[in-house]
Amino acid sequence: MALRINFNYEAAVTHTALRQNERLMNKSLLRLSTGLRILNAADDSAGLFIADQLALVSAGLEQGNRNIQTGISALQIAENSAGQIYSKLKEIYVKAENAANDINDPNARAALQREINSFVDAIDKIARDTEYNGIKLLDGTFTNKYIHYGPRSGQSINISISSLRASSLGSYTMDVTGDTTASATADLTAVDNNYTYDAATDSITVTIGGDTIVLNTESQMSVRPYSGASPVLDASVIAKTINENSTAQQHGLRATASNTETAGADFGAGLASFGGDGTENVRVVIYVGDSKVFDKTYDAATNPNLDQFIDDINASSLNTSGLLQASKDAGGTKLVLTSANGETISVEVTVTDTDTTTTTTVDLNKIIDAGGATTINGSAAGTTGHGVAVGELTLASIEGFSVTTAGTLGALTFGALQFESLNNIDVSSNTGAEKALLIIDGAIKRVDTVRSQIGAVMNNLQSIYDAQKVAKDNTDEAESVIRNVDFAKEMATFTTMQIRMQSGIAMLAQANTLPQLVLQLLR
């Protein structure tokens, strides 16, 4: 061994090792005191980058869930207020149904109208005033709003809540008016083409929400009053076809039919003007849709006045289902015929007069609004006149729609599409009350649609919240694996470094004694 005193190599090397052990022990001590494995970027540069990205995602998930909670809170306010609006609409519907009953006098209907107006005003106030933190929710301004739920850009849900103001609630409606045709010389098989269904040319097409509903068969548009008769357009059949159509149901399109026919002339003292030897008679047959509801023959002795004729129709054994209701007009001088479901009313009148010296006649205008020259003059073989009154249709939907027709459908006149809101409700008449029911029905469907949309978004947000809560826990765990210290492992490392430090100090002391051996040579 070489002996030197100017440089103690062994002591220097031992000191270097001791400094390294000290650094490692101090780092281990800091890890144990802070709980962090990565104290700075030098400890694990790649691990630090990954851990920081995971921490960012975790913070984003946490804030996203807070955003979801505030969003759900706002939507709960909106949904609860929409529920209150539904309750008010239900009350309005009941009031309108009450007003549709003709037992109500004008004063009763006026009182019902006032109640309805109060409910409409309450609905408008609820929709106008519902808010979250100053943000209006139901007045139509809450559109294209975003709830950012995720940690990354673009992770958001778009929400729009339609206006529930009274002026925005209602139905798109289209009135289809029916018409009446009559002839004093022909029976129902010779009805004008405008009133009969033509399989080769006639159709009705309703377009709604990008879908079409086509009516182009006899069973979808018409009835046959009796065997062999031409098919006659029938508003009730058209309404039934539309209401049973799955596409119409999907878009909330509804049709209602009505048919109230007021005679074109006063009934006078009797149905017919009889003349001759007393063998003359008048046979009156009335059909509702394809059902015969009245068939009676009168002569001079039984020639009915208006009250008797009404009683005969209402008491007819063929009318036991109440398909036809006969009454008087407001003046008490004209016959009014009403079909139960808006079916077409068809009338046949046959005048038989064997006496050629005088003529027995019947004016069809006493039964329906027949228009021009409609006096049936009797003959020995019998002369048959006819009249057909096609009912009215009302189409209603919460969506806009259009109607096109083809062929000869002159008995039906399609009006313009218009939106009628709660502010348009007028229950001062039966017609207005019946239409109000359609308007309110559309309003209820719109409110329920909005409520269901809000509920769907709330459920979606809650599902995202639950998923992100799990994702945040897993992300925090992934970050912890990289960033945080394993105490068991680190304690073993610290103990090792501590022992090495003790050993190093002891060996440094030994290394420092080596140069002293030179003194033995100098004695």
Q: What is the mean pLDDT of residues 194-208?
A: 90
pLDDT tens, residue by residue, 238-290: 999 999 999 999 888 999 999 999 999 999 889 988 877 778 889 999 999 99
Token pair of 197 as six digits: 């269904």
Question: Is 26 among the domain residues?
Answer: yes
Residue linked to tokens 């002293």: 516
List the single range of 57-61, 76-80, 123-127 with lowest mean pLDDT. 57-61
- Is 480 part of any domain? no
Phi, psi of 90 (to 5 degrees): -60, -40
Residue 100 in domain: yes
In this prediction, residues 464-488 reach a mean pLDDT of 86
Residue 265 has phi, psi (to 5 degrees) of -145, 155
**Pairing assessment for the beta strands 361-363 and 375-377 based on DSSP bridges:** antiparallel
Mean pLDDT, rounded, of the chain = 88
Task: Scan for tokens 């003709």, then name that residue.
Answer: 102
Mean pLDDT of 80-105: 92
412 and 454 share one domain: no
> Which domain, by its residues, includes 140?
50-167+441-473
pLDDT band at 372 (very low <50, low <70, confident <90, very high): confident
Residue 124 near residue 138 (C-beta atoms within 8 A): no
- 111 with 52: CB under 8 angstroms? no
- Rounded to the nearest 10°, the torsion over CA 20, 24, 27, 32 is -150
Residue 209 sits in the same domain as residue 234: yes
CA distance 330 to 324: 19
Asked if residue 148 is part of any domain, the answer here is yes
Q: What's the token pair of residue 514?
A: 């080596």
Indicate the pTM of the whole model.
0.76
- DSSP state for residue 252 in the 8-state scheme: T
Q: How far apart are CA 296 and CA 283, in angstroms?
A: 6
For residue 298, being part of any structural domain is answered with yes
pLDDT value, residue 145: 92
Residue 149 sits in the same domain as residue 188:
no
Residues 158 and 181 in one domain: no
Q: Using the structure block, give the residue that is written with the tokens 């596409």.
A: 247
Both 401 and 456 in one domain: the answer is no
Instruction: Locate 52 and state its tokens.
Output: 């920081």
* In a shared domain, residues 100 and 156: yes
- Specify whether 289 is located in the same domain as 350: yes
- At residue 353, does pLDDT exceed 70? yes
What phi and psi, each to the nearest 5 degrees, are found at residue 41?
Answer: -60, -30
Distances (CA, A) of 502 to 10, 56, 444: 17, 43, 85
pLDDT digits (tens, 9 = 90+) for 209-248: 899 999 999 999 999 988 778 899 999 999 999 999 999 9
Q: Are residues 110 and 70 in the same domain?
A: yes
What is the per-residue pLDDT for 2?
54
**Given this model, what pLDDT does residue 45 score?**
81
Task: Return d(Cα 201, Cα 285) in angstroms, integer.
Answer: 30
Same domain as 253, residue 276: no
Residue whose entry in the numeric block shows the structure tokens 């289809």: 176
Asked if 111 and 184 sit in the same domain, the reply is no
- Residue among 363, 362, 365, 319 nearest 338 (CA): 319
The alpha carbon dihedral of 20, 24, 29, 34 has a sign of positive
Report the domain count for the chain: 4
What confidence tens digit (pLDDT) does each residue in 49-70 have? 888 888 899 999 999 999 999 9
Residue 469 lies in a domain: yes
List pLDDT tens digits, range 3-35.
666 777 777 787 788 888 878 777 777 777 777
Cβ 222 vs Cβ 388: under 8 Å: no
Q: Is residue 463 part of a domain?
A: yes
* Alpha-carbon torsion (94, 99, 105, 109), positive or negative: positive
Residue 127 scores a pLDDT above 90: yes
Structure tokens at 174: 């289209």
Question: What is the longest distance spanned by two Cα atoms in the chain?
Answer: 183
Looking at 32-150, which runs of residues are DSSP E strands?
A: 131-132, 135-136, 145-148
Tell me the chain's radius of gyration from C-alpha atoms: 46
Tell me the two tokens of residue 55: 């921490």
> Is 267 within a domain?
no
* pLDDT of residue 1 exceeding 70: no
The CATH number given to whatever domain includes residue 54 is: 1.20.1330.10
Q: Looking at the structure, do residues 305 and 451 belong to the same domain, yes or no? A: no
- Asked if residues 155 and 148 have their Cβ atoms less than 8 Å apart, the reply is yes
pLDDT of res. 496:
82
Burial 274-294 (b: 16+ CB within 10 A, else e): bbbeeebbbbbbbbbbbbbbb
Mark whether 289 and 348 lie in a shared domain: yes
